[in-house]
Amino acid sequence: MKPNQRKSAIVAALAVAGASLLGTTPSVNAAAITFSITGTGSDGPLAASAQFTTSAGQIQVVLSNDLAANVIRSAGQAVSDITFTLSNNAGTVGAANASGQLGNAEAGTPVDYVSGSPTRWLGAGGQGDFSVVGAVVTLEAIGGGQPDQMIAPFIAQGGIYTNLNNGFDNFNPYVIGPATFTLALSGVTANTTVTSVTFSFGTGPDTFLTNTCTSGCTPPPPPPPPPLNVPEPGTLLLIGSALVGFGLLRRRKA
């Protein structure tokens, strides 16, 4: 092999060997955190859950009424408010979006799905309430007139809540099933967690329940530095051969 060819081969070998030693920086995944609550209010059993997903500059909240469809009896068992505290300051508020299936429900009558979304929870049109104070965020369907858009258990279109009382329909439409809220908050990162949650139920609200985290409670650790892979024997031999080759080239030039 000619000297120039030998030199090119050695350089290429060193490049391959060096590349094999480089690690990659792991990506930061969003954190999913779930709070669940059960209890009893003046109108009967209560159950709700909230799943939070945090990522850079954003938090998503999926809020559900976890009662069975044949258990809910009164508007006092509908979810009407949630307040949660972040592990760090929420920062400034950007866009806020809400989605969920609205529907009208009445004792002995099939549920009728209707168009719209639960924007009352974001204070749209002066209805309901949405506030961010430091690390505390509140989403509420109460306020600004007769409440509606409270969250009822999921039931399919045309299904019947078999245990409803006659006043339930005074607060139509309800959110039938979960409501999803996506909030742009400049202080939120993938490492932000939720430290406490208070659920409220009913038109007053009538009942407040606070619970600790039930899933995904530990905030994800910061990403580790790129790992330095230990060279395999073949890689060490390749590097050694390259170094010897460079030595021979230097001696030949000398």
pTM for this entry: 0.74
Q: What is the pLDDT of residue 242?
A: 60
- Residue 233: the pLDDT is 59
Gap between the Cα atoms of 4 and 10, Å rounded: 10
d(CA 30, CA 59): 9
Distances (CA, A) of 173 to 141, 191, 226, 251: 12, 36, 52, 88
**pLDDT confidence of residue 19:** 40
Beta-strand relationship, 93-99 and 179-185: antiparallel
- Two tokens, residue 200: 């409220």
Sheet with 93-99: strands ordered across: 93-99, 179-185, 58-65, 44-55, 31-41, 213-215
8 A C-beta contact, residue 200 and residue 82? yes
Tens-digit pLDDT string for the chain (254 aa): 555 555 554 444 444 444 444 443 333 446 689 999 999 998 999 999 999 999 999 999 999 999 999 999 999 999 999 999 999 999 999 999 999 999 999 999 999 999 999 999 999 989 999 999 999 999 999 988 889 999 999 999 999 999 999 999 999 999 999 999 999 999 999 999 999 999 999 998 778 888 666 677 754 445 556 666 655 555 556 666 665 555 555 555 55
